[in-house]
Amino acid sequence: MVIRKTSAQIEKMRAAGAVLARCINEIVQSIEPDKTTTQDIDEISEELIRKYKGIGSFKNYRGYPNTVCVAVNEEVVHGIPGSRVLRTGDVVGIDLGVIIDGWHADSAVTVAVGGQTSPEAAKLLKVTKEALFKGIEQARPGNRLSDIGHAIQSYAERRGYSVVRDLVGHGIGRNLHEEPNVPNYGPPGKGVRLEEGMTLAIEPMVNIGGYEVETLQDNWTVVTKDRSLSAHFEHTVAITKSGPDILTLMPMEET
């Protein structure tokens, strides 16, 4: 069942989204090339969430052992933090969830370590973020759920990339994962009718190579099957009568 939220409940999710955006911004700013490890990012994430009086959504969720998911280069999502050092030119995905007053927000960004990377990686990041916003544009009353994924897939594939099929976005609210699932691909005009009050975590995962993925032996880290680079961006979005309302925008982020 898709749970529609009241305006007051959406404002509570906006409060969680504001904390989450602040945390992700500070995490990204904290990364020091050739020094910061993925475990450092986990510790920083936990400290920041505590600082802003929140609770991490991910730790111990379905057995996940950490506060944040950190995916480097060919890793798509769900990378477990550890001793890996982030090198200049790596692309690193930071996926984090926060609970404030019982309400979840979920967001992800992929950035170039040291602010520099290869031209092909830089283009992948740009296109994936743009694809996210193309999908968000479709999150408005009267559209169908698959209009979101169709917009994402069309935008990414026209630029020569592939969209991961095995992992999808999701509804969000009092629970981290609620109905409906939100695929990042497919034909338009399918699925549930979008209505005011729905809240969705929209999160395209886009690869330079093929869309196939596999899970490593840790049973969490998902990588591209061909080990090509991958990028992941995510926002928590409320559907309002006037269109999509992004609850996790970072300061000065362009939509």
Which of 44, 40, 29 lies closest to 84, judged by CA?
40
Strands (E), 39-193: 55-56, 68-72, 75-77, 91-100, 103-112, 162-163, 169-171, 178-182
Q: What is this structure's pTM?
A: 0.96
CA–CA separation, 209 vs 226, rounded Å?
7
Bridge partners of 55, per DSSP, are 99
64 DSSP assignment: -
The residue type at 19: V
Structure confidence at residue 252 (pLDDT): 60
Domain ranges of the chain: 7-245
Asked whether 157 and 177 are in contact (CB, 8 A), the reply is no
What CATH architecture does domain 7-245 belong to?
A: Alpha-Beta Complex (3.90)
Structure confidence at residue 98 (pLDDT): 98
Burial 135-173, CB ≥16 within 10 A → b, else e: bbebbbeebbbbbbbbbbbbbbeeeebbbbbebbbbbbb
Structure confidence at residue 253 (pLDDT): 60
- Give the distance, in angstroms, between the CA of residue 232 and the centroid of all CA atoms in the same chain: 6
- Give the distance, in angstroms, between the CA of residue 75 and the centroid of all CA atoms in the same chain: 14
Q: What is the mean pLDDT of each run of 10 residues along the chain (255 residues)?
A: 96 98 97 98 98 97 97 98 98 98 98 96 98 98 98 98 98 98 98 98 98 98 98 98 95 58
By DSSP bridging, strand 205-207 and strand 199-202 are unpaired
Bridge partners of 71, per DSSP, are 93
Complete DSSP assignment for 160-192:
T-EE-SS--EEE-SSSSSEEEEE-S-S-SS-SS
**Integer angstrom CA distances of residue 232 from 2, 3, 134, 190:** 25, 26, 14, 24
Structure confidence at residue 250 (pLDDT): 79
Name 219's Cβ contacts closer than 8 Å, sequence gap at least 6: none
